[in-house]
Amino acid sequence: MLEFDYVIVGGGTAGCILANRLTESGRFRVLMLEAGGEPKSLWIPIPAGFSKLLVDTRYNWRFKTQAEANTRGREISVPRGKGLGGSTLINGMIYVRGQPGDYDAWAATGAKGWDFNTLKPYFRAFENYAQGDASRGHMGPMHIHQVSERYPVADAFLKAASEDGHAWNRDYNGDDQTGFGYYQVAQHKGRRWSVVDGYLKPARNRANLHIETDAHVLRLDLQGTRCTGITYRKDGREVSVSASRDVILCAGAIQSPQILELSGIGRVEVLSQFGIAVKHPLSGVGENYIDHFATRVNWRLKNTLTLNELARGWRLGLAVAEYFSRRTGILTLGTGLVHGFIKTRDDMATPDVQYFVVHASYANAAERILDRHPGFTIGVSQLRPKSKGSIHIQSSDPDTMPAIRPNFLTEEEDCTSLIEGMKIARRIMQQPAMQAYVEEEKSPGLQTATDEQWLEFAKDNGQTIYHPIGTCRMGEDEGAVVDSSLRVHGLQGLRVIDASVIPSMVSGNIQGAVMAVAERGAAIILAEVDS
């Protein structure tokens, strides 16, 4: 049996960061296992390629939620990246740190040492944001750049937001998130910049890093209360490897709890239901699932061209030529052009709603099929949802996807914030600056006027925006799965370092938070070795 110092399960955001940091000194032999393959698609480096990758089973696990009454019995897509680079291969590239209070809340609820002041140096360590001030990082491995494309209708929207009383914000990742402006994205010279680019490529030639792709983890190997290694499937055969120091789960908020449960670690009633021997009862595994839920309010425009027209026919041909000759144009765009972070009530200390604004509209949002008429969309998401669900196995077969039960919109605060966010979005679009462009509100339409009607629209049409967290929550209470050093409670040699350990939602897209967790997790491991 091969032995390594560390075995990393998952080659996504956290896995690539850990693979780099744990091999830098040359002291440790590290194995990284990834169930997907190499990121070879021609669409990956093209930012607009996300729309193709989101429906490609080679790079997206294509999970779906269980049908729930509160979202009208719909199965809602929950994309997760598959392959080296994980979700940084297929996401919309939007970069958000969140609010300092998000991380202070982690520390206050038991994740000691995870407050914002402690984490801020880790954000700065990975950021390479040339347009920021001293509060931002400028030398890190992850290139961050403000969206460079400008369109008259987007500028008009920003003017309309100002007319509605909202501020311009030059850097929402700076001291104050509040306001409107252009998004920051993980790109470099017009190309997607993934964790493969920032972390894995610089480390791949190190003799002490071994990477296995197409390696599907079946179970953790336990001896008593110690995790000694892992068994995975490769080319149809089972392979076992040992870890002298730690096995580190980096499989994400959906698959890390799945692997724990398949290994006999989790809630007794879940494991017993599927005939899995209980090796270590841990009630929090798979619980505390949280995700951002969003609606898309859209308009039919006039007097302008939008992505709906620019991304088809001869105009698309021109856009392709522009991109490959200059790395500019519509193919550099991801899921958001203009941002907005707003307070839906004046008595709030910080924003509670995020806007994703783009001059496009979807005939089918789940499949990324654009309308054929000029369109404009404002995605509306509550920043810190209180509704919580679960992710649990529904079979002892590792190839069976787990059951995702999000319980969206079960908390009144979530509903209220979302309703007010949609109403404010409509109000902005009714300001004078937008009147030269707006032909009509298409969805939900002006017939939707009462709070009850807005909520019905959300339940009928809302989607996750792919930010699952929390299912191996960090903390010290009985429901926590890992401690503040990211060790699984009650076991030795096993850690979880990925989005699943995040105790409560951050205010915005989660990639930045996951990267900070991985950077600090690596630092904790290395500090323990040297202590």
Catalytic machinery residues: 467
Q: List, in sequence order, every residue forming a beta bridge with 181; answer none if it has no partner.
A: 339
Cα–Cα distance list, 312 to 149, 156, 321, 323, 374 (Å): 19, 24, 13, 15, 12
Instruction: Report the distance separating Cα 405 and Cα 468, nearest Å.
Output: 11
**3-state DSSP: the chain helix, strand, coil percent, rounded to 5?**
30, 25, 45
Place of tokens 């709070």: 451
Instruction: Report the distance separating Cα 91 and Cα 325, nearest Å.
Output: 24
CB 252 within 8 A of CB 500: yes
**DSSP letter string, 182-212:** EPEESEETTEE--HIIIIIHHHTT-TTEEEE
Classify strands 353-358 and 375-382 as parallel, antiparallel or unpaired: antiparallel
Instruction: Report the distance separating Cα 36 and Cα 82, nearest Å.
Output: 5
Q: For the packed helices 511-530 and 13-23, what is the interaxial angle rounded to 10 degrees?
A: 30
| Tokens linked to 493 | 């040699």
φ/ψ of residue 101, rounded to 5: -65, -25
Residue 435: CB atoms within 10 A of its CB come to 11
CB 201 within 8 A of CB 165: no
DSSP 292: -
CB 7 within 8 A of CB 492: no
Cα–Cα distance list, 194 to 50, 144, 146, 187, 500 (Å): 12, 11, 16, 8, 20
